[in-house]
Structure 1
């Protein structure tokens, strides 16, 4: 029970226990892990080299990269790539859960009362933890300013960016918020025009692209990052009036054994996560003792 933000809380608490992390060799595959952001930086360089009209001019020509995001990891990667000298213009695409959009537009880094379920479910986030990294980058790597901002946010769940910092953020990125209706319309249009089946998260980026091209605001090459396969989201495909195309590899999963542990509100999720990790470690050690199993 709960949402992605609430799921992050026990994960963050467990990772704060350094001895526990070292004992079990823990890592995270989401963008809490710096390695994830490091890998995504390469996506921005690859996109630039694919889309730049020429690499023989000075200065190098700009390319706009539209990044669909929830927690802000791929946006942080793009901001770092900018700092490294890559001439990219970053546009952040979010769904109705628009805290990053409000932050970019008005400096309003505050949590809404509720997380709104959308077709782009992986972006249904109100606490985009990578904004801390982005604030640090655009503040000129100012640790004290960043710490003070994040401590205020954690206390109040609300923060209005100082004007200077907000101006620096606007220099780095622009943003748009995309509705479910726009997502399904974009999925349908992309299929009709290109026979390419977008996932709903990718569609938030392509929706921004369509808005720009339809209004004649297409002055630089543009690349939309696509974070997932449409096969993972058959409900969104049906909502767009399209037919899901499920790969045989995905269909094969339907016959596999599934396991889950329900986590109810009011339970100690931190302890449940710790116990699960302890159990996995014990089983792994058991297999290490008897590799014939």
Structure 2
């Protein structure tokens, strides 16, 4: 198996970048894209749209474009529910509120499917200043802002949450025509106002919050002070919602905040919160390792580069296979 990695140069932390670029094995091919997460998704989506090419080269993706990623995340919601439900002997089963920090909405899609399966959870989606999902839930406004904002929660710096397509389909009663029309309009105009019925179903299934960098650092500091637990900035987006709500009134339901990452990868955010990063020795060792990364520069044809790399890998694999036969 060969692995192709696209990382957004300048849009992830130094540690995140080193975790990818210090893997020097021959079957790992790392590209540093001069663009943000939305921009590097474009060549990936273009390649996977070519079904014949995908089948020819046995391709799969490991981001949440891949349905199996969402399936795994569904299990997280069930696990969280069984951890947090006060009793499973009640009829009906008690509800639990799950706060989902997200960028591309994969974990939110997983929660919506779990809900549809009968899991009694109340979903809250928490985003950073890139608030397209928040605006969609609150106002039915599924439209791009002028630009992606860089925040401390960098993995959520996304303007095109492609899993919202799955959520629209799910909440429209599996209506593929309605969903296709919405997404084609979004592709053309970068702006969609949800039909009233669909927006009503979305806002009934999910509530939302948008969190600033200042709130992220305040939440990280408070959580450390009160619990000696070091949140990553993405987890802090969810916990910030919890703190906001508890200041207004005690929670009416048990509440679970999903935590997507370790703070060890985000020392810049930890320092911004006035805390001391706890960096494991394995992470510190990355700085002394060699790196390998092929640039994908502005002006290059990223889709062509990706396709050519895949073709080259397949040719090499066929050569190895024929040599083995001989």
State whether TM-score is above 0.5: yes
Shift of 1:284: 4.2
1:197-236 matches, within 5 Å, as: 197-236=230-269
Which residue among 81, 85, 88 is the counterpart of 1:55? 88
Of residues 111-120 and 275-284 in structure 1, the stretch that sits farther from structure 2 once superposed is 275-284
Partner in structure 1 of residue 284 of structure 2: 251
Partner in structure 2 of residue 160 of structure 1: 193
1:111 aligns with 2:144: yes
1:3 aligns with 2:36: yes
Partner in structure 2 of residue 91 of structure 1: 124
- Matched residue SS, 1:262: strand
1:47-196 matches, within 5 Å, as: 47-196=80-229
- Matched residue SS, 2:47: helix
1:19 aligns with 2:52: yes
**1:238-270 superposed Cα distances (whole Å, 9 cap, x missing partner):** 111111111122223223321111111111010
**1:36-83 superposed Cα distances (whole Å, 9 cap, x missing partner):** 000000000000000000100010010000000000000000000000
Q: Distance in 2 between matches of 1:46 and 1:125?
A: 27
Q: Which runs of 5+ in 1 are unaligned?
A: none
Q: Distance in 2 between matches of 1:64 and 1:93?
A: 13
Q: Distance in 1 between matches of 2:309 and 2:289?
A: 21
- Alpha-carbon RMSD across the aligned residues, in angstroms, is 1.3
Q: Distance in 1 between matches of 2:176 and 2:322?
A: 46
TM-score (norm 1): 0.96
Partner in structure 1 of residue 27 of structure 2: none
**1:106-163 superposed Cα distances (whole Å, 9 cap, x missing partner):** 0000000100000000100111000000001111111111111111111100000011
Q: Distance in 2 between matches of 1:200 and 1:290?
A: 49
Q: Distance in 2 between matches of 1:217 and 1:131?
A: 31
Q: What is the number of residues matched between the two proteins? A: 291
- Matched residue SS, 1:64: strand
